[in-house]
Structure 1
Amino acid sequence: MDTAFEVRTHAGTERATEHGARFERLLGEHAHVLNLLDGTAALRGLAKRIRDVCGAHIGLAGPVEGDRLLVLRQWNGTWATGLHDLNVPTGLGLGGLALAEQRPVWVADYCRSDLITHDFDVPISADGIRTMLAVPMMRGGQVHGVVYAAMRAITDFSGRELDAAVDLADGGALALETAAAARRQREHAAAAERRRIAAELHDSVGAQLFRIGAELRDLRALAGGTALVERLLSLEEQLAETASAFRESVHALDHDRVDDGLTATLSRHCAEFQRRTGTTAQAVQVGAVPECDPHRERVLVAAAREALLNVEKHAGADSVLVSVIALEDGIAVSVADDGAGWDGVDDGGGIGLRSTADRLAQLGGTLSVVSNEDGGVTVRIRVPLP
């Protein structure tokens, strides 16, 4: 019969194992989110994982850059450097063929194959590559990049390995698309911050320069000595040059104007939330999102702001992620936090959220508040498009 001590020890071991497994899942989810926001990290992970899923000697991954030009930006398992950062135009080699035909292609013996052009035989041979697979990263009918698995022996790929490679490439396409959207959002946010700084400089420093110039002119009018007048005139000229350089700097800060969209607006509100609370907040657009009319956009933004306010008041969160996603019939915005839950707010029962839900309902939209399995709360906001 087990003693009480042995039972407690066994239970403690089970809890430790469960906590360890949960921690591993959280690490995996964290890495996945990072990959979604960082195209370079996503490609690096693809180059490694394609080796794992296909049992390959070499993994390569690259995005489509410029005018349908594939560039091999990440590699894993290579001997030589000839394939590093290699430019592959559409139609050339194996990857160029996959890019042109938008389908997976593979050859059993690369340098002897009649299926492909042989523009890259030298770097391929330098790495001892024989059998090679190239899978385009497709999403929404667009190729975002290509991922390769290569063997240093003549072999083939099983159906299971091919399916796994395609699934991996599909995930890579989502990661590259999301990373590009995140980059655009950062650019929008940077442009908005430059405009804010320009406005503050114009209102503060610009006004001070004007006042100093006016005072110098008054002093010159009152000065009686020739030497003093000349000195004041020199200072005026220097001030005029400084003011001119200042105006040019303000113009440079302010010239890059961009049309604000839903995600860019939410990014600014996340930045304000982060400055106000110290809680990390970021807005991410997942995939291409259709434009909506100004009224729907205002209602979506107001709903997201109300959700952020509830996170600030109730959650005690360390981070918040605002996601914008296209639906078949509309747009969805989710506000997810990693806090301890919302005390006092039950299924969206707060006054602010109820009012927000009513405004969404007028547009045929919905709002729901759900608890996350690993802690925190997610507010799901949806509006249909006409």
Structure 2
Amino acid sequence: MAQRFHAERAAEHGQRFEQLLDEHSQVLYLLDDAAALRGLARRVREETGAHIGLAGPVEAEQVLVLRQWNGTWATGLHDLHVPMGLGLGGLAAAERRPVWVADYCASELITHDFDVPISADGIKTMLAVPMVRAGRVQGVVYAAMREVSYFGGRQLDAAVNLADTGGLALQTASAARRQREQAAAAERRRIAAELHDSVGARLFHIGAELRDLRTHARESSELLDRLASLEDQLAETASAFRDSVHALDHDEPTGDLAAALTRDCAAFQRRTGTSAQAVQIGQVPDCGGHRTRVLLAAAREALLNVEKHAGARSVLISAIALDGGIAISVADDGKGWSEPAGNGIGLRTTADRLAELGGTLSVVANEDGGLTVRIWIPLP
């Protein structure tokens, strides 16, 4: 009797645990668009019996991007960009209704811009359902078969229900992301104000004291030289401090990673007179707002070290999709950094932030002089 009681209790606890996991997944979907899309790609395959499930959001310039997939053979559909009206998903998004074709490559209903990646995965029958929320297309979910088939009412209903769930998840995740960004911006402004009121005032006071000492130290040339050196160091510190406060008190620039790196290079060149250029090698996928900010912060920290220590004539920043992630290199042709610069608190903090997301940072010497900071972060 006791054994049966314990078995029943264990079964109840197991059932409750499964419910908690399901609730956790639902909350995660509402806060993380990548998790929501990944779940949609898996579930549309499971609930419709399809061979392949795909899901993607509508991103900048109203382009649908296939960000998550389940059951694919090839990689041609991975991160595929689909403009409105093109292909099956573009048509479904433009007309805001489910669309399906029995034989994709032979269909006269759609354009055939994507026949190559479709054929590479052996796709024949395909269904696309738009995720519409608050009058806006948030994305599209797909179900695909590798044989000429038919999507019945039950399968269509399942796909439509999943699309409704996905639309809510993407809308909620977008709102949560905006709230996090606003909170982060407010915190940056708060820290900037505190630094300005405390450290800034202290720097000004130290500078005033040094200038006063200099006026009373005319009889000692050695002391005058030391005071002049201290004033120069203080001026450099104050300049770096102002730049830090300015960066804290301004929101991140809009636009993609390559555009932001180009703007950073232009600002660096205007500030230092050192030639700086950013290049993108191949297609670099979007890695999400948080990861993009961490990458930009790392590249800016590398640029700051070049500015302070390298004495470089030129800097080249490159971005490339590499090893399942995004890699950025900041290479200079300077004299190299001193040991404290390469292991300073700025780079250590940057490396820690990258590590939190599974990324890495390394500093290597170039064969022809200068250093290269290598930054890598995995895609979500």
TM-score interval w.r.t. the shorter chain?
0.5 to 0.7
Alignment match, 1:213: 207
Deviations along 1:259-317, whole A, 9 cap, x unmatched?
A: xxxxxxxxxxxxxxxxxxxxxxxxxxxxxxxxxxxxxxxxxxxxxxxxxxxxxxxxxxx
Q: Where do 1:203-242 residues align within 5 Å? A: 203-223=197-217, 224-242=219-237
Q: Distance in 2 between matches of 1:158 and 1:24?
A: 31
Alignment match, 1:113: 107
Q: Give, in angstroms, the shift of residue 23 of structure 1.
A: 1.1
Letter of the structure 2 residue corresponding to residue 226 of structure 1: S
Q: Distance in 2 between matches of 1:113 and 1:178?
A: 36
Q: Aligned pairs, how many?
A: 252
Equivalent residue for 2:85, pick from 67, 81, 91: 91
Equivalent residue for 1:143, pick from 130, 137, 141: 137
Q: Distance in 1 between matches of 2:98 and 2:105?
A: 18
Q: Distance in 2 between matches of 1:216 and 1:153?
A: 82
Q: Give, in angstroms, the shift of residue 18 of structure 1.
A: 1.8
Q: Give, in angstroms, the shift of residue 10 of structure 1.
A: 2.7
Equivalent residue for 1:58, pick from 48, 52, 57: 52
Give ranges in structure 2 of 5+ residues lacking alignment.
Answer: 253-380
Q: Where do 1:13-32 residues align within 5 Å? A: 13-32=7-26
Alignment match, 1:374: none
Q: Give, in angstroms, the shift of residue 249 of structure 1.
A: 1.7
Q: Where do 1:355-370 residues align within 5 Å? A: none
Q: Give, in angstroms, the shift of residue 177 of structure 1.
A: 0.8
Alignment match, 1:300: none
Equivalent residue for 1:247, pick from 242, 245, 253: 242
Alignment match, 1:344: none
SS of alignment partner, residue 91 of structure 1: coil
Letter of the structure 2 residue corresponding to residue 256 of structure 1: D
Alignment match, 1:175: 169
Q: Where do 1:191-340 residues align within 5 Å? A: 191-223=185-217, 224-256=219-251
Letter of the structure 1 residue corresponding to residue 228 of structure 2: L
Q: Give, in angstroms, the shift of residue 98 of structure 1.
A: 0.2
> TM (normalized to structure 2)?
0.64
Letter of the structure 1 residue corresponding to residue 177 of structure 2: R
Q: Distance in 1 between matches of 2:56 and 2:251?
A: 30
Deviations along 1:166-220, whole A, 9 cap, x unmatched?
A: 0001000111111111111111111111112112211221122112112211211
Q: Distance in 2 between matches of 1:226 and 1:198?
A: 39
Is structure 2 residue 178 aligned with structure 1 residue 184?
A: yes
Deviations along 1:223-269, whole A, 9 cap, x unmatched?
A: 12233223322322331232122122212211339xxxxxxxxxxxx
Q: Distance in 2 between matches of 1:141 and 1:187?
A: 24
Letter of the structure 1 residue corresponding to residue 227 of structure 2: L
Q: Give, in angstroms, the shift of residue 30 of structure 1.
A: 0.5
Structure 1 runs of 4+ with >6 Å offset: none
Q: Give, in angstroms, the shift of residue 13 of structure 1.
A: 2.3
> TM (normalized to structure 1)?
0.63
Q: Distance in 2 between matches of 1:190 and 1:203?
A: 20
Q: Give, in angstroms, the shift of residue 91 of structure 1.
A: 0.4
Is structure 2 residue 95 aligned with structure 1 residue 82?
A: no
Alignment match, 1:128: 122
Q: Distance in 1 between matches of 2:221 and 2:16?
A: 83
SS of alignment partner, residue 81 of structure 1: coil
Q: Give, in angstroms, the shift of residue 108 of structure 1.
A: 0.3
Identity of aligned residues (%): 75
Q: Give, in angstroms, the shift of residue 19 of structure 1.
A: 1.8
Q: Distance in 1 between matches of 2:174 and 2:251?
A: 19
Alignment match, 1:156: 150
Q: Distance in 2 between matches of 1:256 and 1:144?
A: 25
SS of alignment partner, residue 138 of structure 1: strand
Larger C-alpha radius of gyration, 1 or 2?
1
Q: Give, in angstroms, the shift of residue 12 of structure 1.
A: 2.6
Q: Distance in 2 between matches of 1:13 and 1:256?
A: 56
Q: Distance in 1 between matches of 2:62 and 2:204?
A: 52
Give ranges in structure 1 of 5+ residues lacking alignment.
Answer: 1-5, 258-386
Deviations along 1:144-170, whole A, 9 cap, x unmatched?
A: 000000000011011011111100010
Q: Give, in angstroms, the shift of residue 123 of structure 1.
A: 0.6
SS of alignment partner, residue 144 of structure 1: strand
SS of alignment partner, residue 100 of structure 2: strand
Alignment match, 1:34: 28
Alignment match, 1:304: none
Q: Give, in angstroms, the shift of residue 139 of structure 1.
A: 1.0
Deviations along 1:322-349, whole A, 9 cap, x unmatched?
A: xxxxxxxxxxxxxxxxxxxxxxxxxxxx
SS of alignment partner, residue 155 of structure 1: coil
SS of alignment partner, residue 67 of structure 1: helix
RMSD over aligned CA atoms reads: 1.6
